[in-house]
Amino acid sequence: MNKSLVLSLLSALLLAGCATGNKTLYDWGQYEQTLFVIYHEPEYKEQALENYLAFVGQFDGESRLAPGLFAEAGTFLLEQGDVNGAIGFYKMEYERWPESRPMLGILIENLEAQL
């Protein structure tokens, strides 16, 4: 009886330890929905971009914003002609994600040379 009780408790603990819940490593916000709207519903594109930029702009150094989201925000601003805003977001991506530094370093340098 003791043996089966211990085995049951160990099984329950093992299964409970495997439960992860809904927590993800990074915060993606409404990224998928926003991209869908931007590319497939042009009448709502401006509002979707405003919401996306507000979402990305609220992050501080402690948050876990997903990789690439700062750079994409910069690209959206660059497409709208806001070079300084784009450079700001590119620099945020550059500082947060070392993997992006080779490409973003060149991009930032070229954009700053155009100013």
Q: Are 27 and 64 in contact (CB under 8 A)?
A: yes
pTM of the model: 0.75
Does residue 66 surpass a pLDDT of 70? yes
Does residue 13 surpass a pLDDT of 60? no
Indicate the average pLDDT of the chain. Answer: 84
The architecture of the domain spanning 23-114 is Alpha Horseshoe (1.25)
Does residue 88 surpass a pLDDT of 80? yes
Give the whole-number percent of the chain exceeding pLDDT 90: 50
Kindly list the distances between the CA atom of residue 21 and the CA atoms of 10, 17, 18, 24, in Å, as whole numbers in the listed order: 20, 11, 9, 9
Banded pLDDT at 59 (limits 50, 70, 90) = confident
What pLDDT shows up at residue 12? 54
Question: How long is the chain?
Answer: 115
